[in-house]
Amino acid sequence: MAKELKDLTKRSEDYSKWYNELVVKADLAESADVRGCMVIKPYGYAIWERIQQSLDARFKETGVQNVYFPMLIPKSFLSKEAEHVEGFAKECAVVTHYRLKANEEGDGVVVDPAARLEEELIIRPTSETTIWNTYRKWIHSWRDLPLCCNQWCNVMRWEMRTRLFLRTSEFLWQEGHTAHATREEAEERARQMLDVYADFAKDVLAIPVVRGVKSETERFAGALDTYTIEAMMQDGKALQSGTSHFLGQNFGKAFNVQFINKENKPEFAWATSWGVSTRLMGALIMTHSDDNGLVLPPHLAPIQVVMVPIYKGKDDLSALDKVFDELAATFKQMGIRVKYDNADNKRPGFKFADYELKGVPVRLVMGSKDLQNGTIELMRRDTLEKETLPLEGIAAHVGKLLEEIQTNLYTKAKQRLDSHIWECNDYAEFKERIKQGGFYLCPWDGTAETEAQIKADTQATIRCVPYGYSQENLGNDMVSGKPAVCRVVVARSY
């Protein structure tokens, strides 16, 4: 059984297959009975809950309040903002009826044709439209601003090709929607939330990201600017992990949200929206995990330390129970999430493989000999290194080690990112090198034509105009040869 658990495709053999297997074998999620949707299983959901809690606290620190808006949106709302409808109408789940009835010509139930809605409703793909239609009632004066709301909810975008966590028709996310009295304040909020995402990715997920701004082609439908954090997966592909949009007055105008400004004149409100989703689970898996399974950063892990006894008889076990119970109490006092697994229906080897697969950062094992010697065996998941240590002082040691593992995971990921991001000015070279993955800093002439050309030739896209990388000595666009306006990150992506 332990062997079967571990029977995971190697990353070097087939990275994509490794990912798909890992999600299922580590009990994170599985495909649902409805095409393109997923079931998030208890262990996967426990990780998502920790993501939620950490982000939610960070949002609230910036003055954001949670709310809940309906999941159904009148079809007509979607077409009020011209670009928004282009972006989202194509992939909507549409509710047309509100009743089923017994099938008179056979078994089961059929849609009752008499219960047809006057106006069809769509399941929210994102909620700008319905929220801004309500903000009109909430915003009257500059005193009502800023208004900073967020909701944790499900959304639906009909997808033809789906993958667990990375792209599913229904997914869970948070969407923040803020309204402001000035353009500057809205732009600042959009950038602030990008920083919240980037800091969270670093501090909790141990994922380094490139921050930047999207090209016009890659912008959110209805935004003036889309800010993004892009993470690099182990195969060198980019994964867009969070976006924050400066929406200008587009939704304010589309839904007629006006306020009386300090000069006593009516003005349209300025908007932002920003979101991260269960996609982060995919980023997490593909950043740290290895051929033995999931590797979780300690700050995120639902179980930080697992303790397993090795025993022959009941006396053995009760002696070990005593030591482990005390140790568990100590860990809990230290705020460390610990699990003591003394279940007798699984062998230690099975438990070892299972917790390795599930990415628990630290494993502690004791047998009768350890008990006599006053020792305990420790394994750290990130390096798989084992050592036998004195039992005395083990809790403090583990406390420090968890921080060390957190730092180590981030450092490893940061080194990979830094060593796979290159300047590239020559298109022939680019076309060759992009096959091996990586981020390429390329001079761009700013045109959609060039962008389309790159995509057509290489499947790579402009991920963003990055912050923190030099924008000097741009030279010429590597495709068109025209003078470049900026240096962009080009990469293949999920």
Instruction: Output 71 or 323, the one with its CB closest to a copy of itself.
Output: 71
The reply to whether 67 sits near a copy of itself by the rule CB under 8 A is yes
The reply to whether 2 sits near a copy of itself by the rule CB under 8 A is no
Tell me the C-alpha distance between 467 and 469, whole Å: 6
Asked whether 297 and 409 are in contact (CB, 8 A), the reply is yes
The reply to whether 241 sits near a copy of itself by the rule CB under 8 A is no
Q: Which of 8, 121, 232, 295 binds a copy of itself (CB under 8 A)?
A: 121
Task: Determine which helix (DSSP H) or strand (DSSP E) holds 37, and give its type and residue range.
Answer: none
Nearest CA to 84 out of 247, 228, 295, 270 is that of 247
Instruction: Output 94 or 384, the one with its CB closest to a copy of itself.
Output: 94
Segments of 331-484 assigned E as strands: 338-340, 362-366, 375-380, 386-390, 421-423, 439-444, 461-466
Q: Between residue 130 and residue 149, which ones bind a copy of itself under the rule CB under 8 A?
A: 130, 133-134, 137, 143, 149
Which residues have CB under 8 Å from 23's CB, separation 6+?
29, 30, 44, 164, 165, 285
Instruction: Output 12 or 345, the one with its CB closest to a copy of itself.
Output: 345
C-beta of 123: minimal distance to a copy of itself in Å? 7
Task: Determine which helix (DSSP H) or strand (DSSP E) holds 134, and give its type and residue range.
Answer: helix 128-138
Asked whether 187 and 195 are in contact (CB, 8 A), the reply is no
Three-class SS state of 45: helix
Q: Which of 73, 193, 231, 478 binds a copy of itself (CB under 8 A)?
A: 73
Angle between helices 279-288 and 15-25 (to 10 degrees): 110
The reply to whether 45 sits near a copy of itself by the rule CB under 8 A is yes
Instruction: Output 133 or 243, the one with its CB closest to a copy of itself.
Output: 133
The reply to whether 101 sits near a copy of itself by the rule CB under 8 A is yes
Nearest CA to 56 out of 207, 231, 204, 189 is that of 204
Tell me the C-alpha distance between 392 and 399, whole Å: 13
Stretch that binds a copy of itself, among 45-53, 225-233, 326-334, 437-445 (CB under 8 A): 45-53
Asked whether 213 and 465 are in contact (CB, 8 A), the reply is yes
Asked whether 165 and 200 are in contact (CB, 8 A), the reply is no
- Degrees to nearest 5, angle at CA 269 with 266 and 272: 170
The reply to whether 332 sits near a copy of itself by the rule CB under 8 A is no
Nearest CA to 362 out of 404, 323, 333 is that of 404
Q: Which of 111, 317, 328, 389 binds a copy of itself (CB under 8 A)?
A: 111
Q: Which two tokens stand for residue 136?
A: 């009109």
Instruction: Output 40 or 224, the one with its CB closest to a copy of itself.
Output: 40
The reply to whether 51 sits near a copy of itself by the rule CB under 8 A is no
Q: Which of 6, 9, 54, 72 binds a copy of itself (CB under 8 A)?
A: 72
Tell me the C-alpha distance between 373 and 306, whole Å: 21
The reply to whether 42 sits near a copy of itself by the rule CB under 8 A is yes
In angstroms and rounded to an integer, the radius of gyration of the C-alpha atoms of the chain is 26
The reply to whether 78 sits near a copy of itself by the rule CB under 8 A is yes
The reply to whether 328 sits near a copy of itself by the rule CB under 8 A is no
Q: Which of 2, 6, 20, 37 binds a copy of itself (CB under 8 A)?
A: 37
C-beta of 423: minimal distance to a copy of itself in Å? 42
Tell me the C-alpha distance between 226 and 273, whole Å: 9
Instruction: Output 340 or 440, the one with its CB closest to a copy of itself.
Output: 340
C-beta of 377: minimal distance to a copy of itself in Å? 27
Stretch that binds a copy of itself, among 127-135, 264-272, 393-401, 406-414 (CB under 8 A): 127-135
The reply to whether 79 sits near a copy of itself by the rule CB under 8 A is yes
Which residues here bind a copy of itself, judged by CB under 8 A?
A: 30, 32-34, 37-42, 45-46, 48-49, 65-79, 85, 89-102, 107-109, 111, 120-123, 130, 133-134, 137, 143, 149, 153-154, 156, 158, 170, 172, 345
